[in-house]
Amino acid sequence: MNNWSWIPMTGAEDEQVWNVICRQFHFSPSTTEFPSFQVPHPFVTYSTRDLKWKEIETVLSHILITLTDEGERIMALDWNHQGYWIDPRQPFERDEEGTWIIPALPDGDYNFFVALDFQWGYLGHPWEQSVTLFGENLMTAFEESRVFPDVIRRGERQMTFQPNESVSVYRQLLPRDDWKELVRIQLNQYSYPFEIKLLERPRNTKQQHDYEEWGVASHFIATETVQLERLLEGLTIPPIDMLSEESNTVLRIRKQGQDIVLVSNQEVTMQGIIYEELKDSGTEYENFFDAILPHATFPMEVVFCGRGTLDDEDSIHAMTLNDTNWQAVFEDRLLHLLNRKEITSGFLPTNYSKPSQRTLENFMTEFMLIIPYNFILTRDATGRFGMFDHFCTNEKIAHFGNIDDEETNSGQRR
């Protein structure tokens, strides 16, 4: 089998990959509600009704070769069945009916072909009788092939200001835990007055975010900056670990009944976010800095958190960028993490389990941001923030903090 394209995943590898699929794509199998997953924009969904599997196999195998380098493998997944690492340049294993072990057209189960870094994917839906493609290179290749004639739906790339959306930043990601400065930056986007409450969680209350049940330690209306500064000067909210589930104190600041900023022992939550879709070319890190750097005023603080890959608290690293060359800073400050004992390359075959070289490319593969608690956060000299992971920022690049009115299309103070 190892001389052929299809190398079986171990049980642990298969489980890990499907856990990521379920989280990242919000995978929810259904025979009646379509689609059953949410993929990155842009995407396109084609009908597979009345198509011939031999023709699709020929086109798909050719496209997989064009999208991969020599020796590179991709993931071939079959819901509730054996998954495989495949090399599209090798002969494909077939079943007794002559089709691929995991068919190019779904035949009763979900069949996925996905890049190791999740930058593109071919997702077959058995009950909708469809294939969904994401990743611009993959989409373009199939569009040029004209093998799929009928489009069911499309999703275009989006960049939007969402005033009613929020983003939460773990306080451990702030180099100096300067949550008070975040409060000032956030409130500077709005005009007075503000309603300010300091809340304390009763011992018998387990609901973390049902603040109506929390006790009120302080409550007042701030009409000028001096009142806010007086509060912040004397206020202490002890920090807790990002993996902890119980905050005991919350500073809640609202305007016209809407939350603007919340500070707990664990995180700072801010309202009003610009979300930018990832591009489908390049890595997540390259996409992130391509989006952040054009707006940046240097020096810019960069915080990388690899807590999803590394075991202990030595997983958060703060750096400073004085220009746009983030690659040099990462190579200097982060490549040593590839020597850590926790690095096992869970998304690669076990015989490739340890990176042979300390390169930026290997780093970006080992510390993929699709893994929970792997983050990247930036703050420039003006107080503009950028953040990306696949959960807190809804799989998009988040811009927040000191954002220009032109970008939010507000045209006036909020």
Give the integer Cα–Cα distance in Å for 365 and 410: 39
Phi–psi pair at 398, nearest 5 degrees: -105, 130
Give the integer Cα–Cα distance in Å for 243 and 247: 11
Give the model's pLDDT for residue 57.
93
Give the integer Cα–Cα distance in Å for 394 and 251: 24
Give the model's pLDDT for residue 411.
33
What residue segments make up the domains of the chain, in order of their start?
Answer: 6-155, 168-271, 278-395
Give the integer Cα–Cα distance in Å for 278 and 291: 9
Q: DSSP letters along 279-292, please?
A: PSSS-HHHHHHHHH
DSSP 187: H
Give the model's pLDDT for residue 108.
85
- Give how far Cα 36 sits from Cα of 30, 130, 150, 327, 396, Å: 6, 11, 19, 37, 20
Phi–psi pair at 207, nearest 5 degrees: -75, 110
Token pair in block for residue 25:
């794509």
pLDDT average per 10 residues of sequence, the chain (414 residues): 72 89 84 84 90 92 93 92 92 83 90 90 94 92 94 73 78 88 90 95 71 91 95 94 84 94 94 79 84 90 91 86 93 92 57 64 87 90 90 84 64 39
Give the model's pLDDT for residue 3.
47
CA proximity to 306, closest of 298, 295, 317: 317
Q: Model's pTM, two decimal places?
A: 0.60
Give the integer Cα–Cα distance in Å for 44 and 123: 11
